[in-house]
């Protein structure tokens, strides 16, 4: 009779454990519900401006053009890469990091002439030392650039090979 009594005890503990687990879930849901109903201490997010469906919004361009000559980036391309034939005029939309020097792994979002936004990668180490100080100005959001790039791999990764500032507007 001992094993039957032990089995009954295990079932009793299992029922209590299920009851406690259900009570904890209900308590957590109630706390989250109450926290979600509190008025926010932050400012409300303004509504997005009207835009054409299917198109990403382009940042407003700056009025002055940065005074930078063409910057050629060395070391791009190689096996599995194909150079784009013509230069494209693009607008800087967003950085992948907090500045251009952190954007190598995350990329830079540029919007081309047709309004299509793509991710481009810039190897900052391939930029000549005397031109590195111009990069933050060139890649400020809303800047107009003329770029050339290579497309590498089956994923079509775009690596910048040449960047030139264009007058905005």
What pLDDT shows up at residue 161?
A: 82
| Residue 165, token pair as written in the block | 């500032």
First-to-last C-alpha distance (Å) of the chain? 91
Least Cα distance to 151 among 91, 93, 103, 88 occurs for 88
pLDDT tier for residue 17 given thresholds of 50, 70 and 90: very high
> Could you tell me which residue, 25 or 150, shows the higher pLDDT?
25
Tell me the C-alpha distance between 96 and 69, whole Å. Answer: 24
Best mean pLDDT range from 7-16, 72-81, 98-107: 7-16
Mean pLDDT of the chain: 75
Q: How far apart are CA 156 and CA 45, in angstroms?
A: 35
Taking 3-state DSSP, the helix, strand and coil percentages for the chain, each rounded to the nearest 5, stand at 30, 25, 45
Question: 71-165: what fold?
Answer: OB fold (Dihydrolipoamide Acetyltransferase, E2P) (2.40.50)
* pLDDT tens digits along 33-51: 887 766 556 566 666 666 6
pLDDT tens profile 100-111? 666 556 678 888
| Percentage with pLDDT > 70 across the chain | 65
4: pLDDT strictly greater than 70 = no
């Amino acid at each position: 009779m001992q094993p039957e009594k032990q089995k009954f005890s295990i079932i009793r503990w299992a029922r209590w454990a299920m009851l406690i687990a259900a009570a904890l879930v209900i308590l957590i849901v109630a706390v989250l519900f109450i926290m979600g109903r509190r008025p926010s201490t932050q400012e409300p997010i303004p509504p997005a401006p009207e835009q054409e469906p299917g198109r990403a919004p382009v940042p407003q361009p700056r009025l002055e053009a940065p005074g930078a000559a063409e910057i050629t980036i060395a070391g791009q391309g190689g096996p599995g890469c194909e150079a784009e034939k013509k230069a494209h005029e693009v607008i800087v939309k967003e950085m992948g990091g907090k500045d251009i020097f952190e954007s190598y792994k995350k990329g830079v979002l540029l919007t081309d002439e047709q309004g299509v936004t793509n991710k481009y990668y810039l190897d900052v180490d391939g930029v000549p030392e005397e031109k590195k100080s111009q990069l933050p100005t060139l890649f400020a959001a809303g800047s107009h650039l003329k770029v050339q790039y290579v497309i590498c791999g089956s994923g079509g990764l775009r690596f910048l090979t040449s960047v030139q500032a264009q007058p905005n507007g």
